[in-house]
Chain A
Amino acid sequence: MNGPQAPLLELRNLVVRYGSITALHGINLTVQAGELVTLLGANGAGKSTTLRAISSLIHPASGEILWHGGLINRLRTERTVKLGISHCPEGRRVLSRQSVADNLALGAWLRRDKAAIATDLERCYALFPRLAERRSQLAGSLSGGEQQMLAISRSLMARPTLLMLDEPSLGLAPRLVAEVMAALSQLHRDGLTILLVEQNAQAALTIADRGLVLEAGSISAGGSAEQLLADDSLQASYLGAN
């Protein structure tokens, strides 16, 4: 621990390889407690890889992942979940043959505090009332938007300090994207630290404090959400705006 000044999460010169292919070429990133930081970029830029490295689903080739200033490079995933890092993977990945309630119970897998779990469950249902209506339904019978809400709620059930979301807007209708973003914004206002990976830069920057642009495994730009939204050249080259 490096004292109270250490950021919640810090990546230093992080390099990740898949066999001979280098996915991340030494990226640096910090997330302060309470921030909503978005990581933007095109397909294959390394956004998902970054999240997977932080949650120990893959181990970095070199560099450092620091949590409250302590090194967490080579933990097992269940350790990072216990530390308070919850990763909501790309493509929703709800357990389609299990009920909504069972999916949410899975989110609280490593927790033993039954009373607090019940409280958090009610909080999730309050955040997404549609899940409450469908709690005994199979997750596979939900619509895409509802499945995304379930995936986010499942990650929240781990009661994370840092929530990492991988493209929650993927494949959703614009109205649902707005609904999901509004929910994330609400969580952020309630004090949750969020690292949001998105291709939908407009939607993400609207709710984020800061943004970083990842291009071919390196961070190519960064700044406050307002700066990035106002930067026409960035918009044109990376963010796919008209």
Chain B
Amino acid sequence: MDAGLLEQMLLGALLGLSVYLPLRCGQLSLATPGFFAIGGTVAALLSTRVPALAGSGSTYPITSVLLEMALAALLTGVLALGLGRVVLRLRGIYLAIATIALVEILRVVTLNLEFTGGALGIFGIPQPFDSAAGYAAFTLALLALICWLCDRLEKNRPGRAMAAIRDDELAAASQGINTADTKLLAFVLSALVAGITGVVAAHFLNSWNAKLGNFDASITTLAFVVFGGSRTWLGPVFGGLLLTALPELLRPVGDLRLIVFGAVILVGPLFFPKGVITPELFKSFKRRIRGTPTAAAQGVKP
């Protein structure tokens, strides 16, 4: 497979995880592309305007990329903390609409600011890797790290609080879970993931402009999670990988490819309403490997 496509798929998986994090506590936030765009802009500005970061070698130093990621994470995290306090008072579709507005505001601001390059954007972002394969290896490591953190989050205390809020917010609140802070935590984590993904994407794409964080991206990244499933971190990773690759893999069918792509997004939820990857799938898989019935199977009512 083409390493460039692989890199795009990995970035898709990361963005899927960013949408999945607020959904872990039942919050439908479409702000991911906004924070993605901020991360990308931070990387584009720093790497093209700050000579000190460029280093002396022929390629842009990875330490500088890591520094950009840290700054992007700081900026998106602080922004999400402030905005989250306000927008997370909204629920369901109203939160979704508010976050779409957020993405659009950021896009229009970026489009009209002089120092972000306006409509043209920023060009000639330096390359830390010689080839797409280098990017893919770097992004794979990043994805693995974030997947590991998400896996921890499904088992540790904040993660269990998130699951309780997703299943029943009032019940969670009445047992003493701080629902406001837990939802804010998920929102901030989502912003951090999107922000650092933006940094990698900016270098990979070589140029950055306002169009990269628009409403279309909100819907596409949401599709990753709807298709893959939002109950475990593997769902959005699978959705992000597959749905990013699909338009490319479908190139042979020519003009039909967007139709097939649309059909997959449509049919996926019809046949897999909880997404393709569910915790039940894991359980039955484990059971098949071990050949022993699980506790859940034993506990079924007669």
Contacts and interface: CB of A to CB of B under 8 A. Distances in A.
A93 B168 contact: yes
Nearest to A82: B176
A95 B171 contact: yes
Interface string B130-163: 0000000000000000000000000000001101
B159 to A, nearest CB: 12
Given A137-B296, A138-B296, A158 B167 contact: no
Contact of A136 (B167, B168, B172, B296): B296
Contacts of A57: 170, 173-174
B75 interface: no
A134 B301 CA distance: 8
Interface string B166-186: 011011111111100000000
B164 to A, nearest CB: 6
B296 A55 contact: no
Interface residues of B, number: 21
A82 to B, nearest CB: 7
A77 B161 CA distance: 14
A164 to B, nearest CB: 9
Given A136-B295, A154-B175, A98 B301 contact: no
SS class, residues of chain B in contact with chain A = helix
B252 interface: no
Given A89-B171, A137-B301, A141-B301, A95 B164 contact: yes
B172 A106 contact: yes
B300 interface: yes
A95 B168 contact: yes
Contacts of A135: 299
A145 interface: no
A77 B174 contact: yes
Given A136-B299, A138-B296, A93 B176 contact: no
Give the most central of B167, B170, B176: most A CB within 10 Å.
B176
B48 to A, nearest CB: 46
B163 A98 contact: yes
Contacts of A82: 176
A110 interface: yes
A135 to B, nearest CB: 8
Nearest to B295: A136
B98 to A, nearest CB: 20
Nearest to B161: A109
Contacts of B163: 95, 98
14 contacts: A55-B174, A57-B173, A77-B176, A78-B178, A82-B176, A88-B174, A89-B171, A93-B168, A95-B171, A106-B171, A106-B177, A107-B175, A110-B176, A134-B301
Give the 9 A-B residue pairs with the shortest CB-CB distance, closest first. Answer: A81-B176, A95-B167, A93-B171, A78-B176, A136-B295, A137-B299, A110-B176, A136-B299, A87-B174
